[in-house]
Structure 1
Amino acid sequence: MINIFRKIRKKFFSNKFSSYLLYAIGEIALVMIGILLALYVNNWNEERKLKNNINNTLKTIAYDLESDTISANSIIKYYETNLENSKKILENKITKDNYMECLACLNLVTIYQPFSVQNKGFGQLTTLIDETNSEKDSLIADITRFYSVYTPMIAKNNDRMESVVMRNFYDFEKFPWFVDLAQNKLTEEIIAYYTTSEDYKKRVASHAMLAATNHLGITKKYKEDADELIERIYARLEENK
């Protein structure tokens, strides 16, 4: 009889242990599934936030580039006119008799227009690049390359133009007629310098070479590449709607 009770008790506790074990395994599985789901949802939210941040950053970059192209148009127009007037001086088409027809020809080497690149959007992008697989994203890679190439190049050209213009200005300070020029008085001596002197022609030729080959040429190329990037950015934003 005692043996029978022992067997029943053993069987009872054995079944109870198995039930507890299955229950514990089930609880662990549920916890694991919950953790995995939470990680999935968190990753999905992070990816969605990152995508939204990238889209907003691309919009800002597009606005920056559009602003730059407007500035570029103004600079291109200015320097194309500057070069036309430079040609008049170099070809002796401006004389003491007709200088009033091109007063701008008398200020060719002491004025310049710098090109200021807007880079707010690119600054925002640099904080996101590490969070994205930018090497596989050709648009982001091209935007990064665009700013990395043009920003220092344009800054250097601005410095060169400013240096040449300021050097001419300081040189003019040494001429006896500078005070009259500063007061917008076009004396015969001033008119003679601008229309007949070889010194002014050399300064115009030097300024024209720098403006045409560097400042104007790079500004045109910047605008061309910026227009292409703007189209690609808006195409990407349309796809991501």
Structure 2
Amino acid sequence: MIKFFRQIRQNLLSEGKTAKYLKYAIGEIILVVIGILIALQINSWNDNRKAKIVENNFFANVLLDLEKDDEKLNYYHRFHQKRIQYLDTLLTYVRNPNRTMGIEKFGMYVEPLFYSTNATNYATTFESAKSMGIFNNFREKDIVKELSQYYADFVLVENSFSAITRIVENQFEPLMYTLPEGYITETTGTLVVSEEDVQKFYQKVSSIKDNRDITYDYDRILKTSSFENYLIGDMGRSYGAIGIIETRKSILNRLLERIKEHD
């Protein structure tokens, strides 16, 4: 094709048709420019198509991560609601000394308080995409910005859960260790909320017969001011955790809606 155009130019020049040659040259330049523009347009379209595929795959995977996160948040919410119920029951007995709880019921309500929960965040897809630097080619930058803030705010969940763990370790456990743990039975862990199977632990402990003649003075613990202070502190932190969880769930639900609309 190039040889063909060159032949035309040479013929025009040899025939002395300069004006026609100039017109032809201009036309040829225009054709070349149009060809370049078409090629650029095709390349741009191809790049956009590839970027759209990458973006769609990203949001599809993020959607799966957020759905896992939603399930985990539901568990956290249930965990802390139950915790508040147990704290409420114990505080009621503390403030009503004429009511008798009994060692078995006491054990069932205090045992769940030994358990706290670790915060888990499903951010693999987002962090991987961030490290690869692919967000610049995304159209839905507003959603990416919201996702970035959502994952950054996970530290609030971590701090909230850590605060409960610290109060359990520093206040609750030292107080409870003044009471021999022979009160543990196979049903002691019935009210425990945990992602792990803890019943085998209680079955094992209760299977070891206790031949000591011990009086479990749980009533002494109920009457200590430090136990009441612990119950109130734990309850406050649990309410705080629920507030953070509910706020996070609200943001997560909005993100789920926006990403599904994007699809």
Q: Which category of TM-score, normalised to the shorter sequence, fits these structures?
A: 0.7 to 0.9
Q: What amino acid is the match of 1:130?
A: N
Residue in structure 2 matched with residue 202 of structure 1 by the alignment:
229
- Specify whether residues 19 and 176 from structure 1 end up closer, same or farther in structure 2 by C-alpha distance, changes over 3 A only: same
Residue in structure 2 matched with residue 119 of structure 1 by the alignment:
123
Residue in structure 2 matched with residue 46 of structure 1 by the alignment:
47
1:164 equivalent in alignment to 2:160: no
Residue in structure 1 matched with residue 146 of structure 2 by the alignment:
142
Residue in structure 1 matched with residue 30 of structure 2 by the alignment:
29
User: What is the percentage of aligned positions where both structures have the same residue?
Assistant: 18
CA-based RMSD: 3.3
Q: What amino acid is the match of 1:140?
A: V
Residue in structure 2 matched with residue 236 of structure 1 by the alignment:
262
Give 1:221 deviation, angstroms: 1.7
**Which structure has the higher relative contact order (CA within 8 Å, separation 6+)?**
1
Give 1:147 deviation, angstroms: 2.5
Q: 2:172 & 2:114 partners in 1: Cα distance?
A: 6
In the alignment, which of 146, 151, 154 is matched to residue 157 of structure 2?
Answer: 154
Q: What amino acid is the match of 1:202?
A: N
Q: What amino acid is the match of 2:43?
A: N
Give 1:173 deviation, angstroms: 8.7
Residue in structure 1 matched with residue 76 of structure 2 by the alignment:
75
Q: 1:81 & 1:71 partners in 2: Cα distance?
A: 15
Give 1:84 deviation, angstroms: 0.8
The answer to which of 83-92 and 25-34 deviates more is: 25-34
1:132 equivalent in alignment to 2:135: no
Give 1:100 deviation, angstroms: 2.1
1:224 equivalent in alignment to 2:256: no
Secondary structure at the aligned position of 1:14 is classed as coil
Give CA-to-partner distance per residue, 1:154-191, whole Å, 9 cap, x none.
22223323322332466359747479989677953463
Q: What amino acid is the match of 2:167?
A: V
Secondary structure at the aligned position of 1:51 is classed as helix
Total equivalences in the alignment: 222
- Specify whether residues 206 and 234 from structure 1 end up closer, same or farther in structure 2 by C-alpha distance, changes over 3 A only: same
Give CA-to-partner distance per residue, 1:60-82, whole Å, 9 cap, x none.
22211111111111111111111
Q: Which has more helix, going by share of residues?
A: 1
Residue in structure 2 matched with residue 8 of structure 1 by the alignment:
none
The answer for unaligned runs of 5 or more in structure 1 is 1-10
In the alignment, which of 3, 14, 17 is matched to residue 16 of structure 2?
Answer: 14
The answer for unaligned runs of 5 or more in structure 2 is 1-12, 185-201
Secondary structure at the aligned position of 1:188 is classed as coil
Q: 1:27 & 1:163 partners in 2: Cα distance?
A: 79
Q: 1:81 & 1:12 partners in 2: Cα distance?
A: 98
